[in-house]
Amino acid sequence: MRRTACAIVSLALLATPALAAPGDRSERLLAELSNAGSPPGYEEPVRAIMVRELKPITDKIGYDGLGSVIAQSGSSGPRIMLDVHMDELGGMIRRVTPDGYMTMQMLGGWLDQALPGQRWIIIGANGPVHAVTGIRDAHLVPATSDERNKVVSRDNVFLDVGAKDAAGVAALGVSPGDPVIPDSTFLAMPNGRYVGKAWDDRAGCAVVIEAMRRLRASGHPNQLFIAATVQEEMGMRGAQPAAEAIKPDIAIAIEGGLTSDNPPKQNAEETQGRLGAGPGMFLFDGSALPSRRMVRFVDDTARAKGIPLQHDLIAGYGEDTAPIQKSGTGVPTVNLVVPVRYTHVHNGIMDRADFDGMVDLVVALIQKLDAPTVAKLRDYTPAP
């Protein structure tokens, strides 16, 4: 892809709307991370935020060959990997039609019904370009037509930047291969809830930054590696190279979870998470089984600290612990989640209390992961 410094700088400016500054430090961080545009393969804006925030509170920062950020804190003790991913669902310009419309290659697990009638931002060579996905006008669809009840296929969704023809698109600096992100701005809602895009996994990115601030002050008995990975939404591509570089003894992923408390009510067999009921832990997902010992360790730690902890099992879900647990000679892993209402769409909602509870839990877990504890978690010798 052709890319210029202008495009990155312009996107950064665009991603911070001229609104009143949000509340405290965590809220400002969540707003900045949510507003930043980083689809798979174009994680530069979020990478810059992660490096800026982690550099003063870690000992060393490096990168693997795919662009994941690996920050280290501590030089002795067991090797603990704390994983989040920087990318979000997005798209890529596939082709430009002669009359100035564009088709999209979707990146990540979109539902077709989430695509029409939305605003988007194309990250073009000359900077961000605003676009909309059109939909057939309701006045033109007969009242008796089945079309009124059908989902528009992604193959029939076109981006419109207001251009008159293909030359007009080219003049805007847009061409095939350019990344596309949802156009959605952070907003603080009543009752300590936040609406924004990409809580999967910008909530996790903010958790590790805030947890690391506290761990920097309190100390911890291990070598802590924070891995901010790329291309998770494209089949967890970034986690394995990061894990191979870190060679962890134990790994914990922090993700955006799901909820069942919004209408229409979800089947309890599909998900059981609730917004505002505390951080969560997956006992099963479609990509990985957690270490049972890690599950008990998290349960015991949360109980001892008085942190409410939700359990969930999600069949249609994939996350970074899948490749991490298969790296090297095998790694005990567990996936922790900040519950999110409405994921993989333009606007999701998270609860600040769930976020704060996750920060508390991560700090408590890392502080307890000393050499004897990690050795016990990794010891599969049968009892005599």
**Residues 250 and 227: beta-carbon distance below 8 Å:** no
Chain mean pLDDT for the chain: 92
Residue with tokens 């903010």: 206
Residue type, 100: G
The DSSP annotation for 127-163 comes to EEEEEEE----GGGS-TT-GGGGSPPPGGG-EEE-S-
How sure is the predictor about 265, in pLDDT bands with cuts at 50, 70 and 90?
low
Q: Which residues are bridge partners to 236 per DSSP?
A: none
- Reported as a pLDDT band with limits 50, 70 and 90, residue 138 is confident
**Is residue 147's pLDDT more than 90?**
no
Separation of first and last alpha carbons in the chain: 59
Encoded tokens for 164: 């008159």
The whole-angstrom separation of Cα 319 and Cα 254 is 9
| Under 8 Å between Cβ of 81 and 246 | yes
Active site residues: 232
Please say if the pLDDT value at position 363 is more than 50.
Answer: yes
Of the given ranges (12-21, 41-50, 79-88, 199-208), which has the lowest mean pLDDT?
12-21
Q: SS3 for 190-211, per residue?
A: HHHEEEECCHHHHHHHHHHHHH
Q: Residue 16 above 60 pLDDT?
A: no
SS3 216: helix
The answer to whether 122 touches 161, Cβ cutoff 8 Å, is yes
Q: Over 90: is that where the pLDDT of 262 sits? A: no
Indicate the pLDDT class of residue 134, thresholds 50, 70 and 90. confident
pLDDT at 19: 45
For 179-192, write each residue's pLDDT tens digit. 999 999 999 999 99
Return the structure tokens found at 176: 């095939």
Beta bridge partners of 129: 122
The whole-number average pLDDT for the span 55-82 is 98
Q: What is the predicted pLDDT for the residue at 135?
A: 80
* Per-position DSSP letters for 331-381, written without gaps between them: --EEEEEE-EES-SSS-EEEEHHHHHHHHHHHHHHHHH--HHHHHHHH--P
**Three-state SS for 98?**
coil
For the record, the structure tokens of 137 come out as: 């006008």
108-125 residue pLDDT tens: 999 989 999 999 999 999
Percent of the chain with pLDDT over 70: 93
Amino acid 260: pLDDT = 87
Residue 269: predicted pLDDT: 77
Comparing CA positions, the residue from 340, 343, 334 lying closest to residue 355 is 340
- Domains by residue range for the chain, with CATH: 5-88+185-378 (3.40.630.10), 91-182 (2.40.30.40)
pLDDT for residue 17:
43
Under 8 Å between Cβ of 369 and 250 = yes
Tell me what pLDDT residue 2 has: 44
Q: What is the pLDDT of residues 209-256, one digit of tens each?
A: 999 999 999 999 999 999 999 999 999 999 999 999 999 999 999 999
User: Which tens digit of pLDDT belongs to each residue from 308-362?
Assistant: 999 999 988 999 999 999 999 999 999 999 999 999 999 999 999 999 999 999 9
To which H or E segment does residue 54 belong? helix 44-54
What is the structure's pLDDT at 4? 44
Per-residue confidence band for 156, with pLDDT thresholds at 50, 70 and 90: confident
pLDDT given at position 266: 65
What is the C-alpha to C-alpha distance for residues 252 and 369, in angstroms, rounded to an integer?
Answer: 11
Q: Are 158 and 134 contacting, i.e. CB atoms less than 8 angstroms apart? A: yes
Residue located via tokens 């009510």: 265
